[in-house]
Amino acid sequence: MMDCREMPKLAELNIPYYVQIYDIIYQLIQEEKLKEGDTLPGENILADYWNVSRSTVRMAVRKLEEDGYIYKMQGKKTMITGQLARDREGFQHIANPCFKCCVDQITKTEYTFHVQNGGRLVGDLLGYHGQTFTAVVVDIRYFAGDIYVASSVAIIPIMQLEKRGIDIDNEERLKEFAVRELYQEAERSQVSMSAVEWAEIAVDQPECPIVIIMDEVLFQNEEPLSYHKYRMDSNWYRFVLERKK
């Protein structure tokens, strides 16, 4: 944790104190004096140091959190995120969002595999249009430290695996293909995303009030490769997308 005495004092400028506090912390991050994983002193400590109200500090902290520079989990310290560095290429580039868009590093994943016939909706999205097909289903749970922050399911037609000579009994090979190679091979994707209030506790997604649901189909040469669904704890995820006219 940085000692607040290392931070500049506030000045009597025509700039609100909360903006000055924001700028000080922002500049420390830009200069890498505050790095990913570093913690900020508590709001009471900062308020005393800068001789301002706690609500002034809280406003600056909230703005920094909204802009993706820090994250503050309930009952935990306020920490510096490294996600903005990971976001330089933007969400418009194909990658697994459970890794790319987390405000903290994903440190652990858990996998389960099974084979099943694909459902009607996924079949239509993958171009089967009412025909039955068999797929490998890869369920993944993602952890930041010990905290379960996201889950995903990948549905990969057996036909796509056979084309690549991938044995469905080779779990390590399946894992590498589902998590990395599919995204590298894909030339475009079709994504839909929504935020859903989620009060229930389910084994296949994090326990949080709001969960971000994302559906994605990956394509190569206009051929659908795979279907993915992601469920992400909204406290831990932020998306950066460059848009052009």
Mean pLDDT confidence for 169-192: 93
The residue ranking higher by pLDDT, 86 or 217, is 217
Q: Domain of 76: which CATH number?
A: 1.10.10.10
Mean pLDDT confidence for 129-153: 91
The reported pLDDT for the residue numbered 93 is 83
Same domain? 43 vs 141: no
Q: Domain of 110: which CATH number?
A: 3.40.1410.10
The residue ranking higher by pLDDT, 165 or 207, is 165
Same domain? 116 vs 53: no
244 in any annotated domain: no
The parent domain of residue 42 ranges over: 4-81
The reported pLDDT for the residue numbered 203 is 59
Q: Using pLDDT thresholds of 50, 70 and 90, give the confidence band for residue 109.
A: very high
Among candidate residues 230, 204, 206, 234, the one with its CA nearest the CA of residue 217: 230
Region of residue 102 (left: phi > 0; alpha: psi -120 to 50; beta: else): beta
Q: What is the pTM assigned to this prediction? A: 0.76
